[in-house]
Structure 1
Amino acid sequence: MLVVGLLGCEPPNDGPRERADPALAAEPLTDSVAAANSPSDSVVSAKSPRDSVAAAKSSRDSVAAPAVSAPNRPQPAPAQQASPACELVEPPAGLVDLRVEIRSAIVVAGYHRADNFTGAPLPGYEAAGAWLEAEAAEALALAASRLEADGLRLIIYDAYRPRRASQAMVDWCRANAREDLLTDGWVAARSVHGRGRAIDLGLALTDGTVLDMGSRWDQFDPTSFLRGVEGPLLERRLELRAALVRAGFTPYSREWWHFSFEADTPAPVRDRPYACREPG
């Protein structure tokens, strides 16, 4: 199976994939855990969840998880704060800049870079950024503060996603004979990300050392299921999940990194790009 990935794609109509999984046991454990690759060259492997903070003091001796090579896919870069090459435009009304709202978060902006499943930056991500609807951002800030108390920081792989980027994902699948990603529900033109009410996350220590979560944040195989790993790796996923659920987010059991936020008011699907502010 080709190991490629996507950050929190919704199946058509945004429906089934956004429902909570109260049983949290729909997916079987898999034997492919050992093959799961880490999202960073600076990764703390799983010993026990609470060993993570202590491991930051000796991260040079940390054991990184083995990488899985995927044809035509760049290997992941370290999860470092995206450094904008320009001043980012203001988000549209109703969305806020997570770099301002949650300063402890590491904004990777995965689709601004080439290390995504298409092998190139996506349209709409001309600048590095992460926007989210204001109410969802407030809830995310609450989750981040609680995780910080445990010595952890959020990694933001994707947040609001312009409509043109979702369409580019669909176009790529059709042009590269990967229609299975469409029929299996991994990729769709409509996404809750487009409403600014979905977020793709990982965990790091306070010094920025990325925690091994058992798979990439956008990996298309059973290791991406919440319970696709076991032991300390599963406990890390459950810790992330618990913090987000407590703050009001809904998890998705097939992607450990994806969380959506439900609100009473409707939100439009937007196409405002992450772009550089015009000089002057």
Structure 2
Amino acid sequence: MGTTRRMTVGLAVLAAALAAGCQRPAPRPSPAPTSAPAPSASPTGPRAPADFVDLAAVDPSIRTDIRYATPHNFVGRPVTGYAEPRCLLTRRAAEALHRVQGAALAQNRSLKVYDCYRPQQAVNDFVAWAKLPGEQQMKGEFYPDEPKDRLFADGYIGAPTAHSRGSTLDLTLVPVPTPDQPAYAPGQPLVACTVPAGRRFPDNSVDMGTGFDCFDSRAHTADARITGAARDNRQLLKRLMTAQGFENYDREWWHYRYRDEPYPKTYFDFPVARSSLR
């Protein structure tokens, strides 16, 4: 090869390298499932793997009160990613929960779910909210004695969370027949989640010793201060759930994860909506 031609090729290679170095790096892809293909995109956004279901299609007798799709939660507004008030779960977890419901109904109790699959965008919303010290309008109910800047450190909010894997949920027990539950009105006076049941927000669940999403040590499943019927109700829920393969997070009486979850290392981000399912 002649000197002129070598110089021309060398300059071309150098120019290409400089151009590549000036390009921005590609964004990091969202984590893909380890045991199934990544969910495909639809015109409205990402979709769930084929084994995700709406709990209502598996067991319509299980009641739902999806708090993060409403303003009645610790941030005081609907949370990003909750397009609809639905409980989405992997089929494996939903079918196990159906078996729990059968056992609960035999004791004149029914399950009621507060949260199921939680998209990563909702977790990101929680993180952003935690960085805004002035936004504490729901403190009086959900974390009356806990500093807001300790909610992550003390384990009350997780990032990432097992909820985003599709086999974890928050739930309680309600009596059968189940009484109506008064609607929450934004701006109504708040009552601490730690006070006796007759004074708390009138949730139609059995007494569990605290309200749902109560960021307080009294919400720890085995807290010694919870006695009598409330302690019995926590233990009943735990027995029913454990018998069908769920395990409890000991800092939250309402939080259970299906042990044989199909996506133990994957955090999904499709919205909570019927259109996310295949």
TM over 0.5: yes
- 1:192 matched to 2:157: no
- The 3-state SS of whatever aligns with 2:152 is helix
Distance 1:259 1:158 in 2: 11
- 1:259 matched to 2:216: no
Match of 2:178 in 1: 208
Question: How many Å apart are 1:153 and its aligned residue?
Answer: 0.6
Kindly report the root-mean-square deviation, in angstroms, between the aligned alpha carbons of the 2 structures: 2.0
Question: How many Å apart are 1:93 and its aligned residue?
Answer: 2.0
Question: How many Å apart are 1:131 and its aligned residue?
Answer: 0.7
- 1:271 matched to 2:269: yes
Letter in 1 for 2:130: C
Match of 2:112 in 1: 155
Distance 2:261 2:272 in 1: 26
Match of 1:5 in 2: none
Question: How many Å apart are 1:90 and its aligned residue?
Answer: 8.2
Question: How many Å apart are 1:179 and its aligned residue?
Answer: 2.4
- Pick aligned residue for 2:60 from 72, 78, 103: 103
Q: Deviations over 1:222-248 (max 9, x none)?
A: 220112311111001100110000000
- 1:116 matched to 2:73: yes
- Pick aligned residue for 1:128 from 64, 81, 85: 85
Q: Deviations over 1:144-176 (max 9, x none)?
A: 110011111101000000100011111111112
- The 3-state SS of whatever aligns with 2:111 is strand
Kept in 1, the 8 Å contact 2:130–2:149? The answer is yes
Match of 1:245 in 2: 242
Question: How many Å apart are 1:266 and its aligned residue?
Answer: 3.4
Question: How many Å apart are 1:214 and its aligned residue?
Answer: 1.2
Match of 1:170 in 2: 127
- The 3-state SS of whatever aligns with 2:131 is helix
Question: How many Å apart are 1:189 and its aligned residue?
Answer: 2.1
Question: How many Å apart are 1:139 and its aligned residue?
Answer: 0.9
Moved more, 139-148 or 93-102: 93-102
- 1:218 matched to 2:213: yes
Distance 1:196 1:161 in 2: 7
Kept in 1, the 8 Å contact 2:53–2:94? The answer is yes
- Structure 1's 238 and 276: CA in aligned 2 closer, same or farther, altered over 3 A? closer
Moved more, 240-249 or 93-102: 93-102
Moved more, 203-212 or 218-227: 203-212
- Structure 1's 253 and 270: CA in aligned 2 closer, same or farther, altered over 3 A? same
Kept in 1, the 8 Å contact 2:167–2:258? The answer is yes
Kept in 2, the 8 Å contact 1:226–1:255? The answer is yes
Letter in 2 for 1:144: Q
Q: How many residues align?
A: 190
Letter in 2 for 1:226: T
Question: How many Å apart are 1:275 and its aligned residue?
Answer: 3.4
Distance 1:202 1:162 in 2: 21
Alignment of 1:12-31 (within 5 A): none
Match of 2:25 in 1: none
- Structure 1's 143 and 120: CA in aligned 2 closer, same or farther, altered over 3 A? same
Gaps (5+ residues) in structure 1?
1-88
TM-score normalised per structure 1: 0.64
- The 3-state SS of whatever aligns with 1:100 is helix
TM-score normalised per structure 2: 0.64
Kept in 2, the 8 Å contact 1:91–1:97? The answer is no
Distance 2:261 2:71 in 1: 36
Moved more, 199-208 or 105-114: 199-208
